[in-house]
Amino acid sequence: MREYLLNLKSPKIYRSVKNSLPLISNYTLPGPEDITRSVLSNGIVVLARPNFNSVTVVISGYIPVGGLFDPSEKLGLANFTSAALMRGTQQHNFQEIYDLLESNGASLGFDCATHSTSFGGKALAEDLDLLLSITADTLRFPVFPLEHVERLRAHLLTGLAMRAQDTAEMASLTLDQLLYTNHPYRNPEDGYPETIQAISREDLVTCHQSGYGPKGMVIVIVGAIDPHRAIDKVAEFFSDWENPNQILEPELPPITPLESTISKKVNIPGKFQTDIVMGVVGPSRFSPDYIPAALGNNILGQFGMMGRIGDVVREQAGLAYYAHSNLSGGIGPGPWTISAGVDPSNVDIAIELITQEIKRFVDTQVSQEELADSQANFIGRLPLSMESNGGVASAIINLERYKLGLDYYQKYPDIIRAVTPADIQQVAARYFSPDRLGIAVAGP
């Protein structure tokens, strides 16, 4: 096995030796010793970790309202609502909000996904009150000015027009429709032109009134502030928030697995590249299959020059501009996909080569060297992902979102080392079958 050199600037991460994996000192990673967790009286979960080597603070959080709540005739409503939060509140208009942030070198943004609406911001530690004040104001008291709603609608429609001409996005959207028939996961969070046109300002108000509230809300603060003081600050702005009308996430129907390979082509005239996305429904982040699947996915189409898929389809056959795999497990079972961008004349042979690699992945155990390389990659990049306050905040959010436990990152290297080639093959066989794939193609 090759040797790895991991972040020599830090004395707390050590160089691995041949036939061994990187060693990481636990005290460099967030854990129960330095993460403070508290639950406010209204149910909001607050987690804080200090970093006095920085002069800034980062906030990161989410509220459990997302695309799953959208009526079928108004897909994109939750995304539209989240995008409109900063367009004006009871206290500040659109320009005042951005002037307050910009004049203090702070930032704040919102993003809507299937299960939740996330928010994140950054400011100097001395401006935490300002950042939390604007976050609370936009989350709790948006007014959705009609002028800005219409401007935002035009912006969203432009984005959808661009999506319709993007071969990669259209192939991915089409695969979701193949894999998640009769399931909300088949719907795009940003909706369709006709559903965005159907959304009124009153719909945004209703979405906010029914979906936004303290139930299920999580907020993380990382940076140059004492954790208990950070929690008190969150309580100052959020502890009086109540919404008895806040609805819970709808119960999801079961996902019906494919019984045979099914494919669909989306014609987009005038393009010179065709994008292929093929795959299956993979494990959720809660599943014990997730870590073996993630390591297997790294070998299949991520590590080095895009793993086995990249080596066979791009490097050896020269058929693809890019070729890689991706595992998207979250709260629910996300797609496990292989993507490639090819010349339109190479679509069939590229699909054949990818299918052969999937069969090899299912039928034959990965080598010990492939696994060791991927294990070293996973362990080595963990501390690198937490070099910033934002990286730490994202990591802590995941601890809460997926109920991993505050000591998860300290146990993580051992969890990764424990995976065997047999584990990966079993998980690959559980989810992948060369005879039951979804295949979406978009191009000329």
- Looking at residue 217, what is its pLDDT? 98
pLDDT band at residue 27, thresholds of 50, 70 and 90? low
Identify the band that residue 20 occupies on the pLDDT scale cut at 50, 70 and 90: low
pLDDT for 22: 59
Burial of 400 (0-12, 13-18, 19+ CB in 10 A): buried
Tell me whether the CATH fold assigned to 36-238 matches the one assigned to 255-443: yes
Global confidence as pTM:
0.90
pLDDT of the residue at 318: 87
Quickly state the pLDDT bin for 315 (edges 50, 70, 90).
Answer: confident
According to the model, what pLDDT value does residue 25 have?
59
Q: How far apart are the first and last CA of the chain?
A: 44
Confidence of residue 273 (pLDDT cuts 50, 70, 90): very high
- CATH for 36-238 (3.30.830.10, 3.20.20.70, 3.10.20.30, 3.90.1200.10): 3.30.830.10
CA 92 to chain centre: 31
Closest CA to 101 of 126, 121, 125, 81: 121
Over pLDDT 70: what percentage of the chain? Answer: 94
**pLDDT above 90: residue 215:** yes
Amino acid 317: pLDDT: 85
The string of pLDDT tens digits covering residues 83-141 is 999 999 999 999 999 999 999 999 999 999 999 999 999 999 999 999 999 999 999 99
What's the pLDDT tens digit per position in 140-188?
999 999 999 999 999 999 999 999 999 999 999 999 999 999 899 999 9
Which residue's structure tokens are 């997730």?
A: 290
The pLDDT score that the predictor gives to residue 15 is 35
Residue 29 predicted with pLDDT over 60? yes
Here the tokens at position 30 are 């967030």
DSSP state letters, 362-378: HHSPPPHHHHHHHHHHH
Q: Which whole-number Å values give the CA distances from 27 to 13, 387, 409, in the listed order?
A: 11, 14, 10
User: Would you list the DSSP string of 318-341?
Assistant: --EEEEEEEE--SSS--EEEEEEE
Which CATH number applies to 255-443? 3.30.830.10
Residue 7 is predicted with a pLDDT of 33
- pLDDT of 28 over the 90 cut: no
Give the start-to-end residue ranges of the domains of the chain. 36-238, 255-443
**Average pLDDT over all residues of the chain:** 92
State the Cα–Cα distance between residues 221 and 231, nearest whole angstrom: 8
Residue 111's SS3 state is strand
At 18 the pLDDT is: 35
Q: Cα angle at 234 between 389 and 47, to 5 degrees?
A: 50
Is residue 24 over pLDDT 70? no
Residues 220, 59: contact at Cβ < 8 Å? yes
Residue 2 has pLDDT above 60, yes or no: no
Exposed e or buried b for every residue in 224-242, given b needs 16+ CB within 10 A?
Answer: bbebeebbebbbebbeebe
Residues in contact with 106: Cβ distance below 8 Å, sequence separation at least 6, in sequence order:
100, 121, 122, 123, 124, 127, 130, 131, 134
